[in-house]
Chain A
């Protein structure tokens, strides 16, 4: 019997696939950054538009942490509608069944600022640009766009292929994506990092180009887009999340005031914040937490921590943990 895809994953990847700790961390980081939108306008008056599926994890978090009361979930699986409605955790969540291409135009983008998280499971595809157009043509100043795409190169690929070959195959699959790639981005030899950068550049350019067209038709305000998120993580599959803020000239100063940059994970360019989640026991976590956040500033503390856990946890794992410790998920068995 053929092994299932899950079975083929390495043991720790298998764990990650079930609990998605990196995604969990990413969500908390997004939430922390989004809370700062209140500099522009009270974030609880924003609307959140996303793909809630049956879990609504992001919806629950943003409702609880940010106080957002207008939440819309686009549900693309027609067969899931009943189940999705059953699982909807709060009455203030509105479920709209249908494809994002068709249904995002139904959302009222005009009367309130929005946070849109198109959390796709696919690689970057042409239809996603239509969703971008809906958002960037319509959303108000101060709105935030977030897109997650699968950037894994393992899937359905022949093992013997080089990374460059795999990247080219992926990029040539969709003509709409292909024609948006700058030729200077396509090098003879490419690494995975180059691949992620290509996709990030395509998304960034697309956002700016849609706004350039919109600006030609705006007489009062001109819009701009600034990237604030560029996350990469592996919960079994490599995923890339890119996002940023849409703002008009009148809000430019406020966006400066937000000072997103003093959050460690904010990435405004091609370089990514990689979320790597080391497997640690609670004893190890407690031992490390005692040195944090000093560890990240003080070389002496760092040395001390390394020595204390010598032979227990690798220096590499400690470094990874120190980057994300405030968001590290706690899992316990419980009966809810």
Chain B
């Protein structure tokens, strides 16, 4: 029967086209972010299954990428058929949907966005405690019908009793997008992917989760803080009480080894690393004139800061939708940022003293403070976090200093003919003019004045 057109003279069309919708959805995410989103979903599924979310041993996420296909599988809780039917594949989470507590899948778009970003044919198989299903999404044919937004199961079984050791989800994506096809072949992409996922999931990996990419178990970097009797990292915590739930924040700030690309702030939201070794305006490195501290440079290579946001409701966390950064307008974060700046200022008291002690050619063996810090042992942040007794404490460091005093040294400047200089330099085996100068002076002192 032909559909009767009812023309409402006041009607203005506002419905989206699928193509526009997809383009907007994937515009600002990278391939790696898309894969990261799928990993987050797997982590949520695994945490939903275990009794203690801090013990993830025995759980694996397996990722395979090549120029033809992408796949990810996990042995998490799986997706129940009812959840798949009503929520999981809807574009955006309906308001009444109860989110998984402490989840990192926040907006109900991560998985779908990842699908659209990666390829055109997506097949998902999932086994949950009481149901299982398989579904295939053919994006190109789905896109053509502008009126129907639904998908169809290939197979579906309900009222099952599946052993918890058999549950899990597998996603296979083929007909890869041009970008995916090209990048997935590259060794560099694979290596960067490993590094990024290892970074993002560092806390979950430390809790026993195994993530494999093309067969290799990825290893996260070791994040540390130096800790000893008189070198105590600052610790501060706070709970924001909002109408719709609590947001907890914990901060550690201190020092570790002086390595250029290891200094800065690391910010986690529900165990997921959002900002890694950040030294930008966002974390208070504003440069001389801003409201924060100086720009990051060698003097501050030793700084380490760790911020952990935790909330039962992932929507309370101050991150952006792509989980690649902090939401700069979050009022909670802005207050925390000011606190981070104050905590940095205290750590800088030590870093400034260390710099002062290195100045004026002070030999390393005389640098009492620097040696103390150098010898202090670096402890993994995972270990620091697991401490049962946590009390707020300000940054403390050894009150020693052995800097060269202004009055201890005198600078001598004079000019000599270059020919004579070269002869002396060779004779005394000096490496540079300063060295030649001090050696000749020492020679005179020894012979004419004596020790």
* Those of A126-167 within 8 Å (CB) of chain B: 126-127, 129-130, 133-134, 137-138
- Is the C-beta of A217 less than 8 angstroms from some C-beta in chain B? yes
Q: Is the CB–CB distance between A217 and B339 below 8 Å?
A: yes
Q: Is the CB–CB distance between A126 and B338 below 8 Å?
A: no
Binding stretch for chain A, among B317-325, B329-337, B370-378 = B329-337
Q: Is the CB–CB distance between A217 and B342 below 8 Å?
A: no
Q: Is the CB–CB distance between B334 and A102 below 8 Å?
A: no
Most buried by A among B288, B338, B348: B338
Q: Is the CB–CB distance between B291 and A127 below 8 Å?
A: no
- Is the C-beta of B213 less than 8 angstroms from some C-beta in chain A? no
- Is the C-beta of B238 less than 8 angstroms from some C-beta in chain A? yes
Which listed residue, A129, A213, A219, touches B335 by the CB 8 Å rule?
A213
**Shortest CB distance B341–A (Å):** 7
Residues on the B chain within 8 Å of A105, using CB? 342, 345-346, 348-349
Residues on the B chain within 8 Å of A126, using CB? 288-290
Q: Is the CB–CB distance between B290 and A176 below 8 Å?
A: yes
Residues on the A chain within 8 Å of B341, using CB? 133
- Is the C-beta of B362 less than 8 angstroms from some C-beta in chain A? no
For B394, give the chain A residue with the smallest CB separation.
A110
Interface size class of A (residues with CB under 8 A): 20 to 34
- Is the C-beta of A106 less than 8 angstroms from some C-beta in chain B? yes
CA distance A105 to B346 in the complex (A): 6
CA distance A176 to B239 in the complex (A): 31
Q: Is the CB–CB distance between B331 and A129 below 8 Å?
A: no
- Is the C-beta of A34 less than 8 angstroms from some C-beta in chain B? no
Q: Is the CB–CB distance between A217 and B238 below 8 Å?
A: yes
Residues on the A chain within 8 Å of B348, using CB? 102, 105
- Is the C-beta of B444 less than 8 angstroms from some C-beta in chain A? no
**Shortest CB distance A219–B (Å):** 7
Interface string of B95-139 (1 = CB under 8 A from A): 000000000000000000000000000000000000000000000
CA distance A138 to B335 in the complex (A): 14
Q: Is the CB–CB distance between A216 and B291 below 8 Å?
A: no
* Those of A55-83 within 8 Å (CB) of chain B: none
For B356, give the chain A residue with the smallest CB separation.
A98
By secondary structure, the A interface counts as helix
CA distance A213 to B240 in the complex (A): 12
- Is the C-beta of A210 less than 8 angstroms from some C-beta in chain B? yes
Residues on the B chain within 8 Å of A129, using CB? 291
- Is the C-beta of B352 less than 8 angstroms from some C-beta in chain A? yes
- Is the C-beta of A175 less than 8 angstroms from some C-beta in chain B? yes
Most buried by A among B290, B334, B339, B345: B345
Which listed residue, A137, A176, A217, A219, touches B336 by the CB 8 Å rule?
A217
Residues on the A chain within 8 Å of B352, using CB? 98, 102
**Shortest CB distance B347–A (Å):** 10
For B334, give the chain A residue with the smallest CB separation.
A213
Known A102-B348, A102-B352, A134-B345: A214·B338 in contact at CB below 8 Å: yes
* Those of B273-301 within 8 Å (CB) of chain A: 288-292
Interface string of A174-195 (1 = CB under 8 A from B): 1110000000000000000000
Q: Is the CB–CB distance between A127 and B288 below 8 Å?
A: yes
A-B contact count (CB 8 A): 50
Residues on the B chain within 8 Å of A216, using CB? 240, 331-332, 335
Interface string of B336-372 (1 = CB under 8 A from A): 1011011001101100100000000000000000000
CA distance A129 to B352 in the complex (A): 20
* Those of A98-128 within 8 Å (CB) of chain B: 98, 102, 105-106, 125-127
**Shortest CB distance B288–A (Å):** 6
**Shortest CB distance A220–B (Å):** 12
Q: Is the CB–CB distance between A213 and B338 below 8 Å?
A: yes
Q: Is the CB–CB distance between B342 and A134 below 8 Å?
A: yes
Q: Is the CB–CB distance between A138 and B342 below 8 Å?
A: yes
**Shortest CB distance B406–A (Å):** 8
Residues on the B chain within 8 Å of A130, using CB? 291-292
Q: Is the CB–CB distance between A210 and B342 below 8 Å?
A: no
* Those of A227-267 within 8 Å (CB) of chain B: none
Residues on the A chain within 8 Å of B339, using CB? 137, 217
Residues on the B chain within 8 Å of A214, using CB? 335, 338
**Shortest CB distance B176–A (Å):** 46
Residues on the B chain within 8 Å of A213, using CB? 334-335, 338
Known A105-B345, A138-B342, A213-B338: A174·B289 in contact at CB below 8 Å: yes
**Shortest CB distance B208–A (Å):** 33
Residues on the B chain within 8 Å of A219, using CB? 238-239
Q: Is the CB–CB distance between A137 and B291 below 8 Å?
A: no
**Shortest CB distance A199–B (Å):** 17
Residues on the A chain within 8 Å of B334, using CB? 213
**Shortest CB distance B239–A (Å):** 8
Top 9 closest A-B pairs, CB basis? A126-B289, A216-B335, A105-B345, A213-B338, A213-B335, A176-B289, A137-B342, A217-B238, A217-B335
A sample of 19 inter-chain contacts (CB < 8 A) reads A98-B352, A105-B342, A105-B349, A125-B289, A130-B291, A130-B292, A133-B291, A133-B338, A133-B341, A134-B342, A137-B338, A137-B339, A138-B342, A176-B289, A210-B338, A213-B334, A216-B331, A216-B335, A217-B238
Given contacts A130-B292, A174-B289, 9 further A-B contacts (CB under 8 A): A102-B348, A105-B345, A127-B289, A133-B291, A134-B342, A137-B342, A216-B331, A217-B336, A219-B238
